[in-house]
Amino acid sequence: MLSLPVYVVEPIEQLLHDLLDLGQVEAHLGVAQQSGQVVLAEFKHQKNLKIESFPLNQTRQIKGKDSIFKFFWSGNERGQGGAGILLAEKWINNVFDVQRVSDRIILLRLVIGKAIFTFLSVYAPQSGLSDTEKQCFYDQLQGAVTKIPASEILIPLGDWNGHVGAESQGFEEVHGGRGFGLRNMEGERVLEFALANDLVIGNTCFVKRESHLVTYCSSNHRTQIDFILYRKSFRKSVNDVKVIPLEECVQQHNLVVCDFTVTIPTVKKRRFIPRIRTWKLRDQAAAEEFKTVFKDKITVETPVDSTGSVEDVWTRLKNPLLDTASKVCGLSKNHQWRRETWWWDDKVEDAIKMKRTRFKTYKALTKAGKRSEAIAAKTAYIEAKRIAKHAVWQARSEAEKEQFADISPNDGSIYKLAKQMDRKNQDVVGEKCVRNDAGELSLNDEDKMKAWVEHYARLLNVEFEWPSDLLPDLAPVEGPPPPITVDRIRKALSKMKCGKAAGPSGIIAEMLKAAGEEGLEMLRQLAEVVFINGEIPKDWEESYILNLYKGKGDALDRGNYRGLKLTDQVMKLLERVLDNFIRGMVDIDAMQFGFVPGRGTTDAIFIIRQLQEKYIAANKPLFVDLEKAFDRVPRKVLWWALRSMGVEEWTIRVIQGMYTDVRSRVRVNGQYSEELECIRDPSSARCFSSLY
């Protein structure tokens, strides 16, 4: 199910205006909790938002006025209860694990500085529910806490639906003796849970007046049931835990805030590297201009010696392409973006201010005991609230009409927009933490690079054991490469998709297609030189590896990621030409699925499923041998197999050249590791891999 963005429009005005003087704001963070919903923000720069409830397990981006939050939610289909965590934009990319333990418990882990913080938002069963349900809740909570290493900073918080009392009698280790009210059985469960896990109840550790202790108000009934807990080892870092009264977030519950200090290392400012705005080549006018400028930069009258240097021919093609693209498309600029809320206008601003003013008046009169005046103020507040909601709805409707005017269900724009929303609403969107070979978590970019280099150094340099000396000798099929025609290059280029990422050289398919006939001729000359010499340019030996989480299994395990290699687009073009030649030399087996017209991998899955159903119906065993689709076949075996199929030797020399001196760099958060030598190259990166 696709999660669409939710816009929450009611900022809690000056939420922590009177909380603390955050002079060193970079080191001060806060956790706010209310009725099983948690906010983590750097409060001086962000405004908290009204928290809305969602009935299902979802992750949504929430936008307020000039601020963005992400809401992680764990609920049920009944739309009752649930727990959530609201995360400020600054920390979204630091999240590396989200677990929805139940509809009452959600766990979020993120990296702040060099420490791992684990937040557990809980919504305990009410006192009127059965002991079985309460015991089930605490069993699930204990199971989640037990798995959290002692090295992590654990902060369970939420609506515990229990009274721990004002005194610490019998629980001096976890109760600070500065609570509120009388203890009950549910509160004793909370204290026992804290005692068993070496936790402290933060609400009871600071001297507060009564209004800053009460977390729940209903008529004349006032209690303390919302608590923020943390480990004893973290106690010195906590500056304050208090209640913020008079904040209308959730009815009857007051906001509880914990302010603590952590060390955040200085983030090195990245050097801006301008990029060519190649997306402009989608415009036909820009493509025509590219063609004209490129033609002026080259000299087609000078013939190229097909037996000359591969590097010279490649440079003669690469430099004009990049220079032309820079001139026609331009380079990106380094500038600061100022966030603007696209639908917020003066009318909305005035309506929100009026609503907040009337709400404060109503609360002040209620507190002063002026009942008749408070009733009138409440009526005025409800009317202002209705007007504010209508103003927001009207502003958003008008803005959406303008923003989505060009979106049509008949083209790809609607699907592109849906995919963008889906990516933003995933639980983990930043560069994920992974465990290295020693089982330790890699928290910063440098450690992540080292972990990935270790992983790929092992993965890309392991072959299956094979007695290659037992392979019979085969005489090579000698012969010169066939002539390369422009039509063959044009056909291969037409099959290349646009919008694909560039390799290390920066050349993409859009440039090649916009280069016109002159570009096709130069590509033909380059292919001829490569096929005759059996060598490729040095630029083609290098590639970039990107890590893509498969969406299943432990996100900390590097084995659950797919390594995507960004190779040069011109080399991919020549691979298509070479693949066409090879397919004319061999007969592909009928059992080959994938990379074959008319026989996709879905056909193979369908056949296996049919066999499975027939064997189950006949009560017979069926064994399916599944292996990860990663290339570990020894190269000597591949060369022997190609010769045994009658592939000409010039073709094998070109393929061997593409697999010689291969080097890769791993990209982590926009930065690249040192070069990594690869004895083997993943076969999925080659368009002719099906022939193996």
Q: Which of 31-40, 111-120, 129-138, 551-560 has the lowest mean pLDDT?
A: 31-40
The 10s digit of each residue's pLDDT in 307-339 is 568 999 999 999 999 999 999 999 888 766 555
Residue 24: pLDDT above 60? no
Q: If you average pLDDT over residues 483-501, what whole number do you get?
A: 92
Beta bridge partners, 158, equal: 122, 227
To the nearest whole number, what is the mean pLDDT of the chain?
Answer: 80
Residue with the larger pLDDT of the pair 26 and 278 = 278
The 10s digit of each residue's pLDDT in 262-313 is 877 777 777 778 889 998 998 899 999 999 999 988 864 445 444 568 999 9
Per-residue burial over 112-149, b = 16 or more CB atoms within 10 Å of its CB, e = otherwise: beebbbbbbbbbbbeeeeeeeebeebbeebeebbeebe
Residue with the larger pLDDT of the pair 103 and 630 = 103
The 10s digit of each residue's pLDDT in 352-401 is 889 989 988 988 898 888 889 989 999 999 999 999 989 988 888 888 77
Q: Which of 5-19, 53-67, 375-389, 417-431 has the lowest mean pLDDT?
A: 5-19
Give the pair of three-digit tokens for residue 400. Answer: 């959406």
Q: Which of 17-21, 123-127, 519-523 has the lowest mean pLDDT?
A: 17-21
Q: What is the largest CA-CA distance in the chain?
A: 105
Per-residue burial over 342-372, b = 16 or more CB atoms within 10 Å of its CB, e = otherwise: ebbeeebeebbebbbebbebbbebbeeeeee
Residue 465: pLDDT above 90? no
CB 122 within 8 A of CB 158: yes
Give the pair of three-digit tokens for residue 535. Answer: 């060598």
Element containing residue 292 per DSSP (H, E):
helix 284-297
Alpha-carbon distance of 682 to 632, in angstroms, equals 8
Q: If you average pLDDT over residues 4-15, what whole number do you get?
A: 29
Distances (CA, A) of 314 to 125, 320, 328: 70, 11, 21
- Residue 556's pLDDT is what? 83
Residue 35: pLDDT above 50? no
- Residue 560's pLDDT is what? 87
Residue 5: pLDDT above 70? no
- Residue 56's pLDDT is what? 41
Residue with the larger pLDDT of the pair 183 and 46 = 183
Q: How many residues does the chain have?
A: 692
Give the pair of three-digit tokens for residue 604. Answer: 């193979």
3-state secondary structure 140-174: HHHHHHHCCCCCCEEEEEEECCCCCCCCCCCCCCC
Q: If you average pLDDT over residues 574-588, what whole number do you get?
A: 87
Which position has the token pair 């429009």?
A: 9
Q: Tell me whether residue 670 is exposed, middle or buried, using C-beta atoms within 10 angstroms of its C-beta: 0 to 12, 13 to 18, 19 or more.
A: exposed
Query: What is the model's pTM?
Result: 0.71
| Percent of the chain clearing pLDDT 90 (strictly above) | 33
